[in-house]
Amino acid sequence: MGLFDNAVPGGNITKPLMIALGALLVGKMLSGRSEEQPAEPQAPVPTPAGAGTSADGGLLGGLGGLLDKLKDAGHGGVADSWVGTGQNQPINANDLGAAIGPQVIREIAQRTGLNEQELLQQLSAALPGIVDKLTPNGQIPQNHQVASAFNR
C-alpha cells in the first residue's frame, strides 16, 4: 500500500483493515473499483447523533473527527501522540470501541466481515501508525488529502 507499508505491526494491512480504515477516515469501502464504475447499492450508513459525516470524511467526519472522538472520550494524550513527532502511545481495543461508538463499530464490522472484537483489535494496533503516517509534520490533513493517501 506504499505509504502505509510499515505503519502497522508486522507491516501487513489486510483488505478488511483497509476497508475499516477507509470507512472511518475516507468514507468509502475501498473495494478496488474505480470511481466511474457504479458500486453495489448499499443501505445508507446510519449516522449517530453528532457524528458529523462529511463528503469525504468517513463515518466520524474524517481523521479530525476520529481524533475529536478520542479526545472527547478522555484519550486526547494518546491521540496527540499519534499526531505528534514522538513515540505513539497504544490504545486499548475496548477504549477505542467506546470512543468510536458501538453503532459505528457495528457498521464497519458489517462492511469488513470481521466480528466487532477482531475489528477493534486490528484497529487499535493499526491506528497509531496510520495516523502517524498521515500526520508527518504534526498537522492534521484535510479530508481530501487523507482520501488521496488511500488511493495511492
Question: How confident is the prediction along the chain (152 residues), in pLDDT tens digits per residue?
Answer: 456 666 666 666 788 888 888 888 887 544 443 333 333 333 333 433 334 444 456 777 889 999 999 999 999 999 999 999 889 999 999 999 999 999 999 999 999 999 999 999 999 999 999 999 999 888 888 888 888 887 76
Measured between alpha carbons, how far is residue 41 from residues 45, 47, 128 in Å?
A: 12, 18, 32
CA dist 49 → 21, 28, 52, 80, 133 (Å): 21, 20, 8, 25, 29
**The pLDDT of residue 1:** 47
Per-residue confidence (pLDDT) for residue 9, from 0 to 100: 67
Q: What is the pLDDT of residue 57?
A: 66
Residue 83 near residue 57 (C-beta atoms within 8 A): no
Q: How far is CA 20 from CA 74, 77, 87, 133, in A?
A: 23, 23, 24, 17
pLDDT of the residue at 113: 92
Amino acid identity at 49: A
- What does the pLDDT read at residue 58? 72
Residue with cell 473495494: 31
What is the pTM for the complete model shown? 0.76
Dist CA 42 CA 143 (whole Å): 22
* Coil vs helix vs strand at 1: coil
